[in-house]
Amino acid sequence: MTTTSSTPAAVSGAISHPARCAVLGNPVSHSRSPAIHQQFALQTKIALLYERIAPAVDQFEPTVTAFFNAGGRGLNVTVPFKLEAWQLARANLSVRAQLAQAVNTLWLEGGALHGCNTDGIGLVTDLQRLALPLKDARILMIGAGGAARGVLGPLLEAGCAQLHIVNRTPARAHALVNQWPDLHAVQTKRLSAGSLSEAASKQGWDLVLNASASSLSEAAPEVPSGLYAAGGCAYDLMYAARPTTFMVQAQADQAQHTHDGLGMLVEQAAESFYLWHGVRPETTPVLRLIRAELDASREALH
Burial bucket for residue 63 (CB in 10 Å: 0-12, 13-18, 19+): middle
| Known active-site residue 82 | yes
* Residue 262 backbone zone (phi > 0: left; psi -120 to 50: alpha; other: beta): alpha
CA distances (Å), 51 to each of 22, 35, 67, 288, in order? 5, 9, 11, 21
Neighbours of 110 (CB within 10 A): 8
- Exactly one of 82, 135, 189, 202 is catalytic; which is it? 82
Q: Which amino acid is at 132?
A: L
Nearest one of 238, 28, 31, 8 to 105, comparing CA atoms:
8
Nearest one of 149, 145, 212 to 183, comparing CA atoms:
149
Q: What is the radius of gyration, based on Cα positions, of the chain?
A: 19
**What amino acid positions are annotated as catalytic residues?**
82
